C-alpha cells in the first residue's frame, strides 16, 4: 500500500481515546444505575429493573445517533442552527402551558408525548452550542464590539434566563450560562465585556437566591450544613454525605448501598455520585472523576487542534457541557456548592439527557477526525512535527488583535 493510502486511512480515524472514555462512563453509569434505581423502580413501577431497562434503550438510541452525527458533515449544523434554537425556545414556552408541560416537585420541566417525556432544557444545552458557534463565527472580530457582538449575545442569554427560571431550574441555567460564556470567551470577547457580564451574572445569581425562600434555604445549608442537618431542607445534603462517608476507601460493595432504600432522595439522578461513593468508596469516586477529567482534556485538545473557528467553538461547547455539569453535580453531592438538581453526565437516569449527550459526542468525534485530516495534510518541511501549529490553533481566531 502506498504511503498516501496509509496516511489517508490513519488521518480519518476519530479520537479513539475519547471514544473509550465515553464508553467507560456509559458502562459504569449503567452498572451503578442498576443498583441505585432498583428500590425506587420496584416501589413505583413494580419492577426493580424498570429504570435500568429504560436507560438501556436511551443509551442504544444515543449511540445510534452518535453514529449518525459522526457521519454528518459538521458544517451541516450551521444550516440548522437557527431552527434548532427556535424549536428549543418554543419548547421551553410550551412547558409552561397546562396539559402540555408536566409538573413534578413544584417545577414544570417536561413535555408529555405519550410514552415518552422530553425535557426541553436538555435540548437547549445542545442547540445553544450549535447556534452560538454559528453566531460567533459569523460575527468574527465584531464579537469584540459591544453593540454588534456583545449586545445580541446578552439579549439571547436574557431570553434563556427568563424561560429557564420560569420552570424554575437554577442548575440547568448555570450549566447553560457557563457553556455560553466559555464559547463567548473562546470566540475572542473583550476582557472588559467578560468582567462586566461576570459581575452582572453574580449579582443576578445572588438576587435569584435572595428572592426565593427555597433557594435561600439551600444556600444557608451550603454555608452551614451541620446547623440544618436535622431540617427538611438539609436532609438530602446530610444523606449524601452519610452515603459518601460510609463508603470509606473501597465501599460497602456493589449493590450494598443502604441509602438507596429511600433514605437518600434522587438516588438515581441528582445523588447517584453519593451512591457510587457508598458502594465503591473513595477509589470508585476518584475513578469517575478521572474519567471526566480525561474527557475534558481530550475534548479541549480536539478544540485546540482544529484551525476552523466554527468547529472549534462546537468542540469547546460540548466539552464544557459535560465537564461543568459533572463538576456541578459532584460538588453538590460533596456539599461544596448548594444543591442544584443537575444530573451526572452519562451516569444519572434521564432519557433526553443521556440520548442528547451521547449523540453530541458523535459531533466531537467527527471534529477529531477532521482535525487529524487537516494536520496530516499540512506540509512540514522542518520535519519537527505539528505540535507548534496545533498549540497555536486555539489562539488564531480567539485571541488575535487583543
pLDDT at residue 388 above 60? no
Distance of CA 54 to the CA centre of its chain: 21
Is residue 234 within 8 Å of residue 241, measured between CB atoms? no
Q: CA–CA separation, 345 vs 289, rounded Å?
A: 12
Q: All 3 cell numbers of residue 247?
A: 463508603
pLDDT at residue 395 above 60? no
Higher pLDDT, 215 or 154: 154
In the chain, helix, strand, coil percent, each to 5?
70, 5, 25
The whole-model pTM stands at 0.85
pLDDT per residue over 44-98, tens digit each?
A: 888 899 999 999 999 999 999 999 999 999 999 999 999 999 999 998 888 888 7
Q: All 3 cell numbers of residue 57?
A: 434503550
Q: CA–CA separation, 381 vs 17, rounded Å?
A: 29
Which region among 98-112, 276-290, 307-321, 352-366 has the lowest average model confidence (pLDDT)? Answer: 98-112
383 dihedral zone (left: phi>0; alpha: psi -120 to 50; beta)? left
Q: What 3-state DSSP class applies to 118?
A: strand
* Portion of the chain with pLDDT greater than 70, in percent: 86
Q: How many residues does the chain have?
A: 402
Residue 184 backbone dihedrals phi, psi, to 5 degrees: -60, -40
Closest CA to 325 of 351, 298, 354, 302: 354
- Residue ranges in 166-271 assigned as alpha helix (H): 170-186, 191-211, 213-223, 235-247
pLDDT per residue over 130-170, tens digit each?
A: 999 999 998 888 888 888 888 889 999 999 989 988 888 88
Q: CA–CA separation, 354 vs 301, rounded Å?
A: 23
Cross-strand bridge partners of residue 103: 108
Amino acid at each position: 500500500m502506498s504511503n498516501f493510502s496509509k496516511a489517508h486511512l490513519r488521518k480519518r480515524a476519530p479520537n479513539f481515546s475519547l471514544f473509550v472514555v465515553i464508553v467507560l462512563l456509559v458502562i459504569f453509569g449503567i452498572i451503578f444505575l442498576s443498583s441505585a434505581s432498583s428500590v425506587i423502580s420496584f416501589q413505583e413501577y413494580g419492577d426493580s429493573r424498570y429504570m435500568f431497562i429504560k436507560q438501556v434503550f436511551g443509551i442504544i438510541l444515543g449511540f445510534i445517533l452518535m453514529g449518525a452525527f459522526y457521519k454528518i458533515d459538521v458544517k451541516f449544523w450551521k444550516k440548522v442552527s437557527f431552527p434548532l434554537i427556535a424549536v428549543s425556545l418554543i419548547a421551553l414556552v410550551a412547558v409552561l402551558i397546562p396539559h402540555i408541560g408536566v409538573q413534578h416537585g413544584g417545577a414544570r420541566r417536561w413535555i408529555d408525548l405519550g410514552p415518552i417525556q422530553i425535557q426541553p432544557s436538555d435540548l437547549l444545552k445542545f442547540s445553544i452550542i450549535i447556534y452560538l458557534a454559528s453566531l460567533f463565527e459569523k460575527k468574527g472580530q465584531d464579537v469584540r464590539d459591544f453593540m454588534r457582538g456583545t449586545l445580541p449575545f446578552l439579549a439571547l442569554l436574557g431570553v434563556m434566563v427568563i424561560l429557564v427560571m420560569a420552570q424554575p431550574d437554577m442548575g440547568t441555567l448555570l450549566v447553560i450560562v457557563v457553556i455560553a460564556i466559555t464559547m463567548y470567551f473562546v470566540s475572542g470577547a473583550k476582557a472588559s465585556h467578560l468582567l462586566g457580564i461576570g459581575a452582572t451574572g453574580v449579582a443576578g445569581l445572588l438576587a435569584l437566591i435572595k428572592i426565593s425562600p427555597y433557594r435561600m434555604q439551600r444556600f444557608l445549608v451550603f454555608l452551614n450544613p451541620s446547623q440544618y442537618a436535622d431540617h427538611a431542607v438539609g436532609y438530602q445534603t446530610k444523606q449524601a454525605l452519610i452515603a459518601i462517608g460510609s463508603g470509606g476507601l473501597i465501599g460497602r460493595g456493589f449493590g450494598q448501598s443502604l441509602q438507596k432504600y429511600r433514605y437518600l432522595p434522587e438516588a438515581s439522578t441528582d445523588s447517584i455520585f453519593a451512591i457510587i461513593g457508598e458502594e465503591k468508596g473513595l477509589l470508585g469516586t476518584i475513578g469517575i472523576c478521572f474519567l471526566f477529567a480525561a474527557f475534558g482534556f481530550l475534548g479541549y485538545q480536539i478544540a485546540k487542534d482544529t484551525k476552523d473557528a466554527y468547529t472549534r467553538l462546537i468542540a469547546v461547547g460540548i466539552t464544557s457541557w459535560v465537564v461543568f455539569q459533572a463538576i456541578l453535580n459532584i460538588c453538590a453531592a460533596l456539599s461544596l456548592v448548594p444543591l442544584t438538581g443537575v444530573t451526572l453526565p452519562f451516569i444519572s437516569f434521564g432519557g433526553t439527557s443521556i440520548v442528547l449527550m451521547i449523540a453530541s459526542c458523535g459531533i466531537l468525534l467527527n471534529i477529531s477526525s477532521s482535525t487529524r485530516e487537516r494536520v496530516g495534510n499540512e506540509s512540514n518541511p522542518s520535519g519537527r512535527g505539528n505540535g507548534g501549529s496545533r498549540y497555536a490553533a486555539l489562539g488564531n481566531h480567539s485571541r488575535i488583535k487583543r
